[in-house]
Each structure stands twice: as C-alpha cells, then as structure tokens.
Structure 1
Amino acid sequence: MLPLTKSLALAAGLTLFSPAAAVKHLFIFGDSYTASGFSASGALPSASGNPIGNPALPGNGFSGGASWPVVLVTQLNTSSTLLYNFAVGGATVDTALVEPPGQGIPSFVEQVTQWDTKVRSRVQGWNGENTLAGAFFGINDILQKYWKGQDAPLAQMVERFVGQFEIMYARGVRNFFVITVPPLEKVPQIAGQSASGRQRVMTNVNSFNSQIAARLEAFKKAKGDVTTAVVSSAGAIETAIANPRAYGAPDATCTNRNGKSCLWWDALHPGTAIQKLFATDVAKAFKGTFF
C-alpha cells in the first residue's frame, strides 16, 4: 500500500518520482504570498513521501490551496524536487528596518538564520548544482509603511535582501531568484485607496523592483559563478484580472476563502489560479535546469 501522502498526491494528479531519480532542492523564503506552513523543526521533505516535509499537502497558506512553491514541486517538477519553505505570513525583509504586522514573525534575515542553523546541515545531498534558492519579499515592507503615511526604506531593504543571498552563497548555494513585488495598486485592498495613495504605493513598488533587479545583477557579476533570475509577479496578476472567467472567477475583484471561485482569497491575497501562474513563471525562468 502506498504511504498516505503519496496516495493523496497521486489522487490529486500531482507528480511524484522515485527516490532513485535525481533529487533537486528548493530553499524558499517569503511572506504570506509564499507560505505553506513549513516548520523548520518538523519533518523534512522526502523524495518517497511528502515533498514539502510538513504540513501535509497542499500545505497551510493564504490562498485556499497550494502556494506557488508547492505547485512547483508537485505539478511543474521534472524530477523529484524537495521544498524547504521558510516563508511566514506578515514577514518583512528585516524587522530592524520595517516592523511586521504582528509579534514573532520571522523576517527574511531570521528565516535565513533558521535555514542555516536548523535545516541546512540536516538536508542530505544538496549542493550548488542541484539547489535553487528564491525569495519573495517587499509587500509587507511597503504596505506597513504606507499605512503609516511613510515610504519604505527601499535602498536599505535591497542591501539586506541581497545580504541574505551572500550568506547562502558562502554556504554553497549557487542558484538564486527573486520574485518582484506585484502591482499592488491592482490588488483589491489597494485598488480602493485614493489616487494619490495608489500612486505612492506604485512608486515604492516600482523603485524597489528596479533596485533589487540591479543589485541582483551586481551580485551575479561580483561572484562570477552564480545563476540568477528576476521573476516578475506582475504578469500573473495582469493575466488573471484581464480574463477572470478563464480562471473560474466572475470578475477581477471578488474574494472567496475557497481560493477557487474568485481570483482573490481575500482583499490582499491571491487565490490558487494566480498562485499557479506565479509558479509557471518561476518554472519558465529555470526551464531545462530545475523545471
């Protein structure tokens, strides 16, 4: 009899591979747009069982179903791919720069510390060639400051962001990607703000995205032996809201906690259709290597 996790995965049409197949590893960091409920002190992913380690598939997130990293390792993988997803809802790049919306929410800095101290040495067989690290941050940083009538400390955020890649590089990671901050003015929560408010959010988003892309390119050039990619999140959202009925939604703004009947899980978080589009764009960026 198949293990329960595998039986459920196969019933859902997910792609699993035997332990003998080449195994790849994904170290992922982020906020609620990325989270799947992984605990660094819990069970690790397994090629013969649960590819996200913990919790059970499809994880516990903020979309009503599988978040984009879970889609990557269960639907878009071309070989057995294990996910270590440190993302937590509400996370910012660094709490010293922008406080998160609640207590005890680990920032990117703290998530990387968890990876380094609690998980990295427990992962068997990972190396620079078979491992990909990705991060999706900036939404909470920008919005936390926006609600206070302030601009986010973008330049400092960018330096601290790439500083975490420096730490991972020093430990042996050689493949990195960033997902840019989405066009928040098109998210229902912000779309309802004043024109000046939407413009201020747009300015912060566009500036952060251009700065992180430039800084990542500088990181790549300085190291010489890394692969990097900047994956835009804008395309996924714009594609879905341009034709919501094609993705099972009656319009571009409704919300539903089932994650499927509307494009949005709530006024800030996308449902499963947009999450899958995020995953598809990441897979395209590494087509032929990791996906």
Structure 2
Amino acid sequence: MLLVNLLSTAVALASFGSAACIRDDPTIQATEPKYLFIFGDSYTRTNFDIKGTKPSSKNPLGNPAWPGLTSSGGKNWVAHTITDRLVSKYNNDTLTYNFAVGGATVDRAITGSSPKTTVTEQVKIWDDNLKSKPSYAKWTSSNAAVGVFIGINDIGSTYMKSNTDEILTKVVDKYFSLLEHLYNSGVRKFFLIKVPPTNRTPLMRNRGSATVKNVTEAVTFYNNYLDKKTIKWRGHHSDLKVKVVETHAAFNTALDNPTKYGSKDNKCTNSDGKTCLWKDSYHPGIQIQKLVGFQVKDALRDIGIW
C-alpha cells in the first residue's frame, strides 16, 4: 500500500481529527455526520473496501483501521503530520468512503489501457451501495460531497500518441458525464483535483526531454479542458457547488525549494516518504502531500462541507 495520498491527507485527517476531538472532550457534542465520496487512483487510494467496516464517528475512515499501514506494516505518517492543526478546528464527524484504486483511469474503453479499475466502475460501486442512502450512510445533498482526483494514468497511457488531445477530450467528457450522474443522484457538492506536474516526476524526467515536453503539453491540455468543462457544468446547475483544486503550486513550491522541505534535491526518491520529495519515481512524499492536502481542506470549506 502506498502512504496515504494527496487527497486523503486532508480528508482522512479532518475525519480522524474531528472524531478524536469529540471523543476526547466530553464538553463537545457530536454533530450530524457529513459524508465524503472519493474516486480516483493511486494518488488518492487508502485501500478502502465497501464490504469491510463502514465509516463511523469512532472510525471515520472505516477500513483499513486507522491510521492505516504501509506495506512494511508500520503506522502511516499521516497520523503524525497535520492532525493537531485539524483536531483543534473541526468538531464535526466527516465519514469518508474512498473508492480510489491504484492505476485507475476514467474509462478503459477510451484510453485503451487495462487498469485494475476505472472511475466508471468506482461510481458503479457507489451506485450499488450508497446511492440509495442506506441506513449506515444517510447522506443528503447538503451534508455530502464528492471528490475526484483522476487523469494521471489517462495521460500516462496516451501522451505518446498522435491524437492525445482527442483522447483526453473524450476522457474529460466521460468524467463529467459521471459527475452529472452523481448530481442526478442527489449530490450537490464537488471538489475536483487537477493533474499535478507529472512531467517533473523522476520517472518522466528519466525518459528524456521529448517525454517531458509531451507530458507537459498533455497535462496542460487536460487541466485547461477540466476548467472549461467545470465552468460550463456550473452554468447548467444553479444549486451546484464545485471547486477545482490546483496542484501545480503545491508541487512546484516543494520541487523548486527541495532543501527547505528536507530533501537534498528534487530528483531523489525514498520509500520512507520523508527524506526525499518523492516516495518513488512517480508518487510524491510527505511534504508535497501535505501541501496539496491543505488545498483540499480549503476546497471543502469553500463548498460548505467544513
């Protein structure tokens, strides 16, 4: 399992922090729960299984058990990073259903890749288990939000093709058809995370300047089209609250100042997630995750979940 990832940094800690605050301080009364439904890839996953333990005020992430395990069995770093700052601020319970799976794309029929899962399939799981507002998740349009962080693998499997822009247009169009489906199911609050500068990952940089150029162009096209679709979608629904989360500033802040963030340079990798800015050649470590995580926290405030 990867370390808890970008989107989950804010989501998981706010969930845990708020519940912990309620449990540890008898003078604070628990509020009605809020719900987050998360879709995405390895940058987002926590290995949640809808068939396992469901999120609750005492265990807001459900499963795996808080604070999660790394592949080596150690405690996840997330429990020791920004908990204190969130615990003191949020007193409500935020229950998180995270359907993200490593390697996911929006829809395998578009990219021609063979990921373990797709957002299309993740939304189907949501339909089968949560759309009906079951007894264990009585969500409403006012107390629930959907978060999506997808596109990295869609770009990774298409940036070398001659019709990359055409494929990514179809990818984002499908993405928004899934969002519209969730809207029609009753969700009104959304936060969408842009693809980060994957052209700056060690993996892509090691492949040479031509790869960096193609990936840069693909990321720019994807994110710009995501912006355009969001504006258009917002215009179709007066009751829609949607926030697009920009990731480049967070990544570049750390990558342009590596020593400030505890790394000897912006190229090294370390599986501990701490001593380098990259956990591996394609996934960020703790410092970058924290920076993006706080942006997600702000987005949740802006759409009225926190």
1:154 deviates by 1.0
* Alpha carbons 1:17, 1:80 under 8 Å: kept: no
TM-score by length of 2: 0.81
* TM-score using structure 1 length: 0.85
1:94 corresponds to which letter in structure 2? D
Conserved 8 A contact 2:160-2:214: no
For residues 49-60 of structure 1, the aligned pairs below 5 Å read: 49-59=58-68
Q: Alpha-carbon deviation of 1:193?
A: 2.4
Residues 171-220 of structure 1: CA deviation (Å, up to 9, x unaligned): 11000111111111111111222222211111111011011111111111
1:150–1:269 distance in 2 versus 1, CA, 3 Å: farther
Paired position in structure 1 for 2:189 = 175
Aligned-residue offset at 1:151: 2.3
Q: Give 1:255 deviation, angstroms.
A: 0.9
Structure 2: how far apart are the matches of 1:97 and 1:75?
A: 39
* Distance of 2:264 and 2:66 partners within structure 1: 28
Instruction: Name the SS of the counterpart of 1:114 in structure 2.
Output: helix
Please list the CA deviations of residues 230-262 of structure 1 after superposition, one character each: whole Å capped at 9, or x if unmatched: 101111111111222333322211111111121
1:155 Cα offset (Å)? 1.0
Using the aligned pairs only, state the percent identity: 37
Contact kept? 1:36, 1:66, Cα under 8 Å: no
**Cα separation, 1, equivalents of 2:270 and 2:163:** 31
For 2:98 and 2:141, how far apart are their aligned partners in 1?
Answer: 18
Aligned partner of 2:217 among 193, 203, 214: 203
Moved more, 37-46 or 17-26: 17-26
Question: Alignment length, in residue pairs?
Answer: 275
Question: For 1:187, which of 194, 198, 201 is the aligned residue?
Answer: 201
- Counterpart Cα distance in 1 of 2:245 and 2:126: 22
Residue 110 of structure 1: aligned partner: 121
2-structure distance, mates of 1:59, 1:217: 37
DSSP-derived class of the 2:155 partner: helix
Q: CA RMSD in A?
A: 2.8
More moved, 116-125 vs 271-280: 116-125
The Cα shift of 1:118 comes to 2.2
Distance in 1, Cα, partners of 2:263 & 2:240 = 40
Distance 1:119 1:71, change over 3 A: farther
The gaps in structure 2 that reach 5 residues or longer are: 1-11, 23-28
